[in-house]
């Protein structure tokens, strides 16, 4: 299920055009499982339920014919429920598999400029954050993501002729992970080029 609302407020023409888009999505997933014991199939049972709510807001502003700004915010609420949460394995006093969350939010902003009729430039920044790490090491392996990521990129495209387009992109990534104890942390630079040919 999803709901989408688009709003285009009237602003002075000298300020260009502005649009806002609000979206809500809901996803309900049921997981069924079946066990086989000594060749005999047991009854199929519900082994998990996942409920996901996603709220997204987008803003687009064109102050000039050749220049535009974009901003997006998204927040996701994700809850997984499982019957294993009600099982305590002795001598432990808490379940080894618990109901867990996978909530996260992202922010993205960028701008683009049309240099001429054949050349475009675009730059953007995005931030991702998940704070769902659950330290359950006394009875099980810890899980649940706890991470942040910063991404910056700049892209330039050039139309060489009617059939050929050249793209060049630079990106920087900074990722921090709690679940792995920091062993998956990294910083990276990337340079990407592409050539598109249409026949």
Q: What is the largest CA-CA distance in the chain?
A: 76
Confidence label for 140 from pLDDT (cuts 50, 70 and 90): low
What's the pLDDT score for residue 193? Answer: 96
Nearest-CA neighbor of 149 among 113, 173, 125, 183?
173
d(CA 16, CA 65): 8
Q: What are phi and psi of 95, to 5 degrees?
A: -70, 150
Note the residue count of the chain. Answer: 199
User: How many angstroms separate the first and last alpha carbons of the chain?
Assistant: 40
Q: Supply the CATH number for residue 31's domain.
A: 2.40.160
Let me know: does 115 contact 102? Beta carbons within 8 Å: no
Mean pLDDT for all residues in the chain: 89
Domain count, the chain: 1
Tell me the pLDDT tens digit for each residue of 30-51.
988 888 887 788 888 888 899 9
What's the pLDDT score for residue 71? Answer: 97
What's the pLDDT score for residue 8? Answer: 95
Range of the domain at 166: 2-197
Nearest-CA neighbor of 50 among 75, 84, 81?
81
Q: Is 138 helix (H, G, I), strand (E, B) or coil?
A: coil
Nearest-CA neighbor of 171 among 191, 185, 186, 196?
191
What's the pLDDT score for residue 181? Answer: 82
Q: Is 91 helix (H, G, I), strand (E, B) or coil?
A: coil
Q: Would you say residue 94 has pLDDT above 70? A: no
Confidence label for 192 from pLDDT (cuts 50, 70 and 90): very high
What's the pLDDT score for residue 96? Answer: 67
d(CA 20, CA 29): 30
């Amino acid at each position: 299920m999803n709901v989408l609302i688009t709003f285009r407020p009237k602003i002075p023409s000298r300020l260009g055009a502005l649009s806002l888009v609000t979206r809500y999505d809901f996803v309900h997933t049921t997981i069924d499982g079946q066990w086989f014991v000594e060749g005999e199939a047991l009854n199929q049972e519900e082994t998990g339920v996942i409920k996901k709510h996603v709220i997204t807001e987008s803003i687009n502003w064109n102050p000039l014919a050749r220049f535009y700004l974009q901003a997006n915010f998204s927040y996701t609420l994700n809850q997984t429920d499982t019957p294993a949460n009600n099982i305590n394995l002795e001598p432990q006093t808490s379940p080894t598999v618990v109901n867990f969350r996978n909530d996260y939010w992202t922010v993205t902003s960028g701008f683009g400029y049309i240099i001429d009729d054949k050349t475009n430039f675009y730059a953007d920044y995005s931030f991702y954050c998940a704070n769902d790490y659950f330290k359950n090491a006394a009875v099980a392996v810890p899980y649940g993501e706890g991470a942040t990521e910063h991404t910056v990129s700049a892209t330039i495209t050039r139309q060489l002729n009617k059939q050929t387009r050249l793209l060049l992109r630079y990106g920087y990534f900074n990722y921090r992970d709690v679940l792995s104890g920091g062993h998956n942390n990294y910083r990276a630079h990337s340079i990407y080029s592409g050539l598109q040919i249409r026949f």
